[in-house]
Amino acid sequence: MKFELSQRFFFEAAHTLDRSIDREGSLRVHGHTYWAEISVAGVPDPVTGMVVDLAYIRREIERVRDALDHRFLDDVDGLGPATLEGLCAYLWRQFRPALPHLSRVEVWREASGDRCRLTDD
């Protein structure tokens, strides 16, 4: 059997965004509460019974979350434009080396209902 194991976290951050619609408000510094969820998939280890130890996932989340929480996303190295797509790709690149069974990254803003999902398909 193959399992998918997920862990959710949030971070508060500000950014600007150069876009053609709602341009004026987007160019001003503004912030959001972002939610993210990362998932790993695989077959549990026969000795531990786990795909990945959740404590290990939580440790990686704290490392990556520290780079984003209460930050100005425009200044985060390697992020690029602070879109939902950009955040998904950034999180994927940050987690993948430590979590080789990474299968999905989702980022959303609960207040607006916007959501982005990146999978390994």
pLDDT at 18: 79
pLDDT at 104: 97
Q: Tens digit of pLDDT for each residue in 44-59?
A: 999 999 999 999 999 9
Structure tokens at 2: 């193959």
Contact (Cβ atoms closer than 8 angstroms) between residue 32 and residue 111: yes
pLDDT at 121: 73
Q: What is the mean pLDDT of the chain?
A: 92
pLDDT at 119: 94
Q: Tens digit of pLDDT for each residue in 4-28?
A: 999 999 999 999 887 666 666 667 8
Distance of CA 70 to the CA centre of its chain: 15
Of the two residues 87 and 19, the one the predictor is more confident about is: 87
Contact (Cβ atoms closer than 8 angstroms) between residue 90 and residue 16: no
Q: Which residues of 36-61 are buried (b: 16+ CB within 10 A; e: fewer)?
A: bbbbbbeeeeeeeeebbeeeebeebb
